[in-house]
A and B are shown apart, each in its own frame.
Chain A
């Protein structure tokens, strides 16, 4: 795999880390109305502990399907998905999954939605501690003043942030994020990226992050995987080495960053829009 060094003093972060997640020769087909659609074709992917992997690729290439299989919500048609060496079958409770479509409960306020993870998981934690954690996380995603609103009363970007807060509050060891910042404005996006990096580093979380934004992928990830169009395959992988802690704004202005983004774009461009022309 090609290693791209974004700054001279960048050190590998993950040496000696064990494999956390592995997809071995995974294919996935869907049957819809008698027709079989092949979404993924023989994917091999492994993610190490504490690693931050970004998946990019044209729409419909199976990125969300990969996350669904990691979460145990879908089974592969062929091949094997393992988590910490064990085959994933049924809901994988060690991961936190922020889906492409937000899954907030419409009858609960923002605050009650974020709190639900604590109701389910940390049954033993004290009310006072929960309250403090809740305020801290609402602060972090910038939803102060909207705690008592219902999901139908806030914007799409705010719903995304609420979903993110709901996931971060219970600190799962692995995060699966499906275009979490797609609906945010540029400035907020940068703030959220910075916070996500900070939290995942502090908590030593493993992250699989789907995005359409190449700059975002390079900024955040230790490794970027480029998918081809349907049926999805992994077409290229780039390891990104950058000085820690990463400066999510500053690093964009280096020539190395631009070169890597361009390189990824070259891998991607043949497939993007292919569906439109054929």
Chain B
């Protein structure tokens, strides 16, 4: 099926790595522990604490954030921005891709425009969005949407182009209307491509949300990193980055699980 022609995924899921033997796991823990210990010892002796903080302080900060609850609004804001932007961008990208893919003439007209916008670093649009939507999450949602739209749009257009024209002819002869051809041939045949675009877009959405927050925001993990750095609080920066790592792993793993379930359903 066409799914095999779509670009494959390369990341090794965490679950597989964890299952790969006790020896390996112990080895990994040992290396991590050694690095952390070296960091703890080096800070304040070889390198000033001011620059690199240390693991004990970072843990302490994370604990106090968790206990006071001050970190949750930021985590929530980043998740909300990513999720909303992803959903809006994914829906628009897939719909637009289907329309443009199926309607060649329209696609030829707007193709240069889309190509130009595609190569534009979307982050350059952030100031515009901030002017239009304000400093709150709406401007970042818009930015994430734009990034996701293009990823899904391109993948969807490719998918529509890959539809076997003989299948369309076959249905036409059987009396299918234009709508029936879209819903019974083009859409099902393009679904794996749309899905693939959506999968790739997840990590872009998260990255874009955080970069947007770093640049101009009043909430979010990106904002937490930025505001800590502005106060020369390296402990805060490390702690916020750690929160981001955890969020990223949770999202990626969740996706892998979902994907497995979908595959099981297909086979």
Contact = CB atoms under 8 A, between A and B. Distances in A.
Interface in A104-119: 105-107, 116-117, 119
Contact of B173 (A93, A105, A152): A93
B175 A103 contact: no
A103 B166 contact: yes
A193 B190 CA distance: 37
A92 to B, nearest CB: 7
A97 B1 contact: no
B40 to A, nearest CB: 56
B124 interface: no
B189 A107 contact: yes
B167 A103 contact: yes
Contacts, number: 50
Nearest to A90: B172
Most A C-beta atoms less than 10 A away, residue of B2, B175, B185:
B175
A96 to B, nearest CB: 7
B176 interface: yes
A268 interface: no
A277 to B, nearest CB: 33
Given A101-B166, A103-B164, A107-B189, A116 B171 contact: yes
A91 to B, nearest CB: 4
A95 B1 contact: no
Given A103-B164, A106-B1, A120 B169 contact: no
Q: Assign chain B's interface to a size class.
A: 10 to 19
A71 interface: yes
Interface SS majority for chain A: loop
Contacts of A92: 173
A146 interface: no
B170 A120 contact: no
Given A99-B166, A101-B166, A103-B169, A117 B188 contact: no
A105 B190 CA distance: 12
Residue among A92, A95, A103, A117 with the highest chain B CB neighbour number at 10 A: A103
Contacts of A170: 174
Interface string A152-176: 1000000000000000001000000
B173 A97 contact: yes
A86 B2 CA distance: 38
B184 A116 contact: yes
Contacts of B253: none
Contacts of B184: 105, 116, 119-120
B259 interface: no
Contact of A117 (B1, B164, B166, B174): B174
B173 A96 contact: yes
Contacts of A91: 169, 172-173
Contact of A73 (B1, B169, B174, B191): B169
A105 B167 contact: yes
A116 B184 CA distance: 9
B9 to A, nearest CB: 21
A64 B167 CA distance: 16
A107 B174 contact: no
Given A105-B185, A106-B1, A107-B1, A99 B175 contact: no
A97 B175 CA distance: 12
22 contacts: A71-B169, A73-B169, A73-B173, A91-B169, A91-B172, A92-B173, A93-B173, A93-B175, A97-B170, A97-B173, A103-B164, A103-B167, A105-B167, A105-B184, A105-B185, A106-B1, A107-B1, A107-B189, A116-B184, A120-B171, A120-B174, A121-B174
